[in-house]
C-alpha cells in the first residue's frame, strides 16, 4: 500500500507526514523529560527538609560527562552531515557520517556504563552514626591482603549492576546462632535464606520435637502456624463478640467495656524458640532495613530473633578510604569526627586531618567574606547556615593529600601497585607509613554504621534521580542508534529506489537524535556541575 506524503509535502501543511509525526512525538518526549526535570527541581528545592539534606553538589568528576557531551554533539553534526550526503546523492558520504554517528552512540554508552559501574562497584558511602560519611571502596573479606581483597571484590561487585544486594555484599553481619525465636502469627521461615550454604534446615529441637531437613521443618512450621492462627482467631472472635454484645446490645460505652474483668483476653503464646543442635552460621546484610543486632542477638524486621554471638571479625568492615564527607557536622566538630579515628595508620590519619584542616580553613575564610563583620553564624546555626551550602570543598579526596608529597596528583583511580620482592605481605603494612601508602585503610565497627551502600540509585535522592534521568536518556541513545543503524545497514535498497525518501527518513531520525543531544545538554550541567 502506498502511504501518501512520505516524500512530497502535503499542500496544506507544507510538510511530509512523518515530519509532523516526529515533531508531535518530540513534543511528548519533552513532556516526559520535563516531568523528570520538574521532579529534579522538586527534590532539590525540598531537600532542606529531608533526610538527604544537604544535597550532594558536584559529587561527580565532570570529565567523563564532558567527554560524553562532546561525543553527542559530534554525533549531532555527523547525523546532519549524513543527511546532507543523501540530499547531495552521495551514498558514500552518508555511510561514513552515519557510521560515525553509530560509533559516537556506542562510545557514549560505553562511557556511561563505565560511570555506572564505578558508582556501583567501586564507590561506597558508609554513613556513621555521628553524621560523618566515609567515602570508600569496601574490600572483599575473603582475600588475605588489601590488594587481593580489592581485586576479589570485583566479581562480586559486578552483581551490583543488577541488584541492590551488592551494596551490602561485603557488609554482612556474620553471626553464630544457637537458637531462633519467632512469632508464629507473623513470621515466616525466610530468615533461613541468610544461613550459610550447606547449613540450611539443620537438626533442631522445638519443644520436645526434633526436626531435621527442610521437609521436617515445614511439616512442623505450617501446621503449627495454622494452629496458632486458629487459636488467635478464636480468642479474638470471643473478645469481639463480647464487645459487640455489651456495646450494641446493652448500649455501654466502648472504653468502659474494655475495662471489664469478664472481657475475654487474647492470651495466645505465639512465640516459639527453636534450638539448633549445633551453632548455625548466618550472613545477614547489615542494613537497618533488614536487621539489627547486638553482641548476642540479631533481629529481623518481622521480629524473628537469633540468639548467639557475633562471629569473629563479623562486626568489622574494612575499606579503602577515598574521602571524608563531613558536611553534616558543624565545622567546629569536623576534626573530631568519628570517621578519622577509624583510619588504621596513625601517620596517614594525621596527614589526612592536616590536609582537611588546611582545606577547611580556606573554606571558612572564603565564607567569612560573605558575612558582614561579627555576623558569622554561631556553632548552632553553622550546621544549617554553612553545612548545607558547603559541600564538596569540604569533601576532599584524601589520596591527593595523605602522602604529603603527591599533591595535585590524583590517585583515586590508580591501580594498586603490588610490592616487588615476592614476600608475603602483612595487611597492616599496606597502610603502614608514608613509604607505601597507596591505600588509606580504615576498619569500621558495624556498631558505628548508620547506613552503608554503594552509590547506586538507592544511596540517596541525588543518585535516585541521576540514575533515573541518565538511564532514560541512555535508553533513548540506544533506541536512536538502533534506528539510525538500521538505515545505515538496510538503507541502500531504498536509496536506489527513491533517495529522497531515505533522506526524509534520516531527517526524521536525525531530529530525534538532536533531541537526545538537547536533553543531554541540560542533563550535563544539572547532574555533574551543580
Selected from 151, 239, 252, 514, the binder of another protein by CB under 8 A is 514
Q: In angstroms, give the least distance from the CB of 19 to another protein.
A: 8
Answer yes or no whether residue 35 interacts with another protein by CB under 8 A: yes
- C-alpha span between 363 and 359 (Å, rounded): 6
Q: How far is the CB of 173 from another protein (least distance, A)?
A: 25
> Peptide bond before 54: cis, by omega within 30 degrees of 0?
yes
- Distance, C-alpha 155 to centroid of its chain: 18
Spell out, one character per residue from 456 to 495, where the chain touches another protein: x when CB under 8 A holds, - when not. ----------------------------------------
Binders of another protein among residues 303 to 322 (CB under 8 A) are: none
Q: Does 58 bind another protein (CB under 8 A)?
A: yes
- DSSP H or E stretch at residue 55: none
Interacting span for another protein (CB under 8 A) from 12-20, 192-200, 204-212, 474-482: 12-20
Site membership for another protein, residue 363 (CB under 8 A): yes
Both ends of the chain: CA-CA distance in Å? 52
Would you say 345 or 517 has its CB closer to another protein?
517
Q: Which among 104-112, 193-201, 272-280, 522-530 is the span making contact with another protein, rule CB under 8 A?
A: 522-530
Shortest distance, CB of residue 418 to another protein, whole angstroms?
A: 34
- Least separation in angstroms between residue 62's CB and another protein is 6
* C-alpha torsion sign, points 465, 161, 288, 336: negative
Distance CA 349, CA 24 (A): 59
Residues 389-448 that bind another protein (CB under 8 A): 389-393
327 vs 348 by CB, closer to another protein: 327
Q: Which of 363, 354, 372, 349 is nearest to 391 (CA)?
A: 363
Q: Does 95 bind another protein (CB under 8 A)?
A: no
Asked if residue 64 binds another protein (CB under 8 A), the reply is no
Cβ 337 to another protein shortest distance, Å: 15
- Given 80, 101, 134, 187, the residue binding another protein (CB under 8 A): 80
CB of 243 closer than 8 Å to CB of 222: no
Told to check if 517 binds another protein by CB under 8 A, we report: yes
- Examine residue 70 and tell whether it contacts another protein (CB under 8 A): yes
Among 94, 467, 495, 528, binds another protein (CB under 8 A): 528
Q: Verify binding: residue 530, another protein, rule CB under 8 A.
A: yes
The grid cell for 509 is 531520525
Selected from 5, 7, 17, 53, the binder of another protein by CB under 8 A is 53
Cβ within 8 Å of residue 316, ≥6 positions away: 443, 444, 445, 446
Q: Is 5 in the site for another protein (CB under 8 A)?
A: no
372 is a site residue for another protein (CB under 8 A):
no
Evaluated on CA atoms 172, 449, 127, 43, the torsion sign reads positive
CA separation (Å) from 6 to 17, 371, 422, 501, 502?
Answer: 6, 64, 71, 7, 10
57 forms part of the interface with another protein (CB under 8 A): yes
Provide the minimum distance between the beta carbon of 388 and another protein in the complex, in angstroms, as a whole number. Answer: 8
Q: Which is nearer to another protein, 22 or 441 (CB)?
A: 22
Considering only 6, 17, 64, 74, the residue that binds another protein (CB under 8 A) is: 74
Please give the angle made by the CA atoms of 357, 349 and 446, to the nearest 5 degrees: 110
Beta strands in 336-478, from DSSP E residues, in sequence order: 441-445, 449-454
The residue whose grid cell reads 538511564 is: 471
Supply 89's cell numbers: 546523492
Provide, rounded to whole angstroms, the least separation between the CB of residue 36 and another protein. 10
Return the DSSP state at 525.
I
Please tell me the distance from the alpha carbon of residue 169 to that of residue 167, in angstroms, as a whole number: 6
Q: Does 48 bind another protein (CB under 8 A)?
A: yes
CB-CB contact of 475 with 191 (8 Å): no
Q: Which of 23, 154, 222, 486 lies at the binding interface for another protein (CB under 8 A)? A: 23
Half-sphere exposure of 409 (CA within 13 A, CB side): 6
Query: Closest approach of Cβ 304 to another protein, in Å?
Result: 28
Residue placing its CB nearer to another protein in the complex, 98 or 367: 367
| Residues in 376-395 that interact with another protein by CB under 8 A | 384, 388-393
Residues, the chain, total?
530
- Residues contacting residue 27 through CB under 8 Å, at least 6 positions apart: none
Instruction: Confirm or reject binding of residue 37 to another protein (CB under 8 A).
Output: yes
- All cell numbers assigned to 480: 536512536
Kindly calculate the radius of gyration of the chain based on its CA atoms and give it in whole angstroms.
31
Residue in 6, 62, 91, 178 binding another protein, rule: CB under 8 A: 62
User: Residue 303 — φ and ψ, nearest 5°?
Assistant: 95, -10
CA–CA gap between residue 37 and residue 45 (Å, rounded) = 12
Rounded (to 5) percent helix, strand, coil in the chain: 50, 15, 35
Minimum distance, C-beta of residue 39 to another protein, in the bound complex (Å): 8
31 binds another protein (CB under 8 A): yes
The answer to whether 54 and 327 have CB atoms below 8 angstroms apart is yes
Asked if residue 129 binds another protein (CB under 8 A), the reply is no
Which residues lie near another protein (CB under 8 A)?
9, 13-15, 19-20, 23-24, 26-27, 30-31, 34-35, 37-39, 41-42, 45-46, 48-51, 53, 57-58, 62, 66, 69-70, 73-74, 76-77, 80-81, 84, 87-89, 131, 328, 363, 366-367, 370, 384, 388-393, 510-511, 514-515, 517-518, 521-522, 524-526, 528-530
Amino acid at each position: 500500500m502506498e502511504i501518501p506524503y512520505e516524500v512530497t509535502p502535503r499542500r496544506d501543511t507544507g510538510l511530509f507526514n512523518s515530519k509532523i509525526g516526529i515533531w508531535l512525538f518530540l513534543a511528548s518526549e519533552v513532556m516526559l523529560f520535563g516531568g523528570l526535570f520538574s521532579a529534579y527541581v522538586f527534590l532539590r528545592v525540598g531537600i532542606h527538609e529531608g533526610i538527604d539534606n544537604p544535597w550532594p553538589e558536584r559529587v561527580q568528576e565532570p570529565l567523563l560527562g564532558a567527554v560524553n557531551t562532546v561525543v553527542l554533539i559530534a554525533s549531532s553534526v555527523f547525523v546532519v552531515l549524513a543527511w546532507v550526503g543523501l540530499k547531495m546523492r552521495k551514498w558514500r558520504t552518508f555511510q561514513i557520517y552515519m557510521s560515525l554517528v553509530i560509533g559516537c552512540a556506542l562510545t557514549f554508552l560505553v562511557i556511561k556504563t563505565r560511570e555506572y559501574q564505578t558508582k556501583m562497584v567501586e564507590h561506597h558511602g558508609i554513613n556513621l552514626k555521628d553524621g560523618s560519611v566515609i567515602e570508600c571502596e569496601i574490600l572483599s573479606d575473603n582475600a588475605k591482603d588489601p590488594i587481593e581483597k580489592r581485586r576479589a571484590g570485583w566479581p562480586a561487585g559486578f552483581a551490583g549492576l543488577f541488584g541492590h544486594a551488592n551494596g551490602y555484599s561485603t557488609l554482612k553481619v556474620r553471626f553464630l546462632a544457637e537458637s531462633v525465636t519467632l512469632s508464629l502469627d507473623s513470621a515466616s521461615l525466610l530468615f533461613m535464606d541468610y544461613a550459610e550454604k550447606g547449613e540450611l534446615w539443620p537438626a533442631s529441637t522445638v519443644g520436645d520435637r526434633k526436626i531435621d531437613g527442610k521437609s521436617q521443618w515445614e511439616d512442623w512450621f505450617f501446621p503449627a502456624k495454622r494452629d496458632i492462627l486458629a487459636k488467635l482467631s478464636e480468642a479474638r472472635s470471643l473478645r469481639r463478640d463480647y464487645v459487640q454484645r455489651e456495646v450494641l446490645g446493652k448500649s455501654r460505652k466502648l472504653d468502659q467495656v474494655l475495662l471489664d474483668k469478664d472481657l475475654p483476653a487474647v492470651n495466645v503464646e505465639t512465640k516459639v524458640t527453636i534450638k539448633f543442635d549445633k551453632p548455625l552460621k548466618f550472613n545477614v546484610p547489615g542494613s537497618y532495613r533488614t536487621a539489627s543486632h547486638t553482641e548476642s542477638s540479631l533481629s529481623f524486621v518481622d521480629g524473628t530473633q537469633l540468639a548467639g554471638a557475633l562471629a569473629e571479625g563479623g562486626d568489622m568492615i574494612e575499606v579503602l578510604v577515598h574521602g571524608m564527607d563531613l558536611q553534616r557536622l558543624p565545622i567546629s566538630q569536623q576534626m573530631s569526627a568519628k570517621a578519622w579515628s577509624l583510619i588504621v595508620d596513625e601517620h596517614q590519619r594525621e596527614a589526612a586531618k592536616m590536609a582537611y584542616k588546611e582545606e577547611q580553613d580556606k573554606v571558612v575564610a572564603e565564607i567569612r567574606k560573605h558575612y558582614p563583620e561579627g555576623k558569622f553564624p554561631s556553632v548552632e546555626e553553622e550546621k544549617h547556615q554553612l553545612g548545607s551550602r558547603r559541600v564538596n570543598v569540604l569533601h576532599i579526596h584524601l589520596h591527593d593529600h595523605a602522602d604529603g608529597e603527591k599533591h595535585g596528583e590524583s590517585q583515586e583511580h590508580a591501580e594498586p601497585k603490588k610490592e616487588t620482592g615476592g614476600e608475603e605481605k602483612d595487611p597492616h603494612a599496606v597502610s603502614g607509613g608514608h613509604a607505601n601508602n597507596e591505600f588509606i585503610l580504615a576498619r569500621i565497627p558495624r556498631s558505628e554504621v548508620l547506613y552503608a551502600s554503594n552509590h547506586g540509585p538507592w544511596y540517596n535522592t541525588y543518585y535516585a534521580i541521576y540514575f533515573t534521568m541518565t538511564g532514560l536518556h541512555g535508553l533513548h541513545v540506544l533506541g536512536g542508534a538502533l534506528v539510525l543503524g538500521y538505515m545505515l545497514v538496510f538503507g541502500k535498497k531504498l536509496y536506489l529506489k527513491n533517495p529522497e525518501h531515505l533522506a526524509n527518513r534520516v531527517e526524521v531520525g536525525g531530529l530525534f537524535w538532536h533531541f537526545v543531544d538537547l536533553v543531554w545538554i541540560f542533563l550535563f550541567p544539572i547532574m555533574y556541575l551543580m
